[in-house]
Amino acid sequence: MNANPLRTGFVMEQVLGHVSHYQTLRNVVDGDASIHPYWVEVTYAGNGRLERLPRVPRGISGTLRGFSSTPRSRRCSSGTCWRARPRC
């Protein structure tokens, strides 16, 4: 076991083909003792306050939901790997 594992955050989008990529990457990284991973699973669906706002299209509430989950990635100190499409 590595005394100083690399602390790395992985921000992974959980839609369509991204899920299988995430699962493969996680299987490999979780088996590597030289990496201390922190996983952030970004989803665009939920049933919280964002989704209950009146007259807000699903695309907008979904983008806000995904954006709101990304600050959790700041817990890692060595680096962050983003696997998500830009939402511009």
Q: What DSSP assignment string belongs to 7-62?
A: EEEEEEE-STTHHHHHHHHHHHHHT-TTEEEEEEEE-S---SHHHHSTT--HHHHH
- Report pLDDT digits (tens) over 7-43: 888 878 787 778 888 899 999 999 999 988 888 887 7
Domain ranges in the chain are: 6-83
Residues 6+ apart with CB under 8 A from 40: 9, 10, 11, 12, 69, 70, 72, 73
Q: Look over the chain and give the mean of its residue pLDDT values, rounded to a whole number.
A: 75
Q: Is the pLDDT of residue 77 over 50?
A: no
Q: Is the pLDDT of residue 86 over 60?
A: no
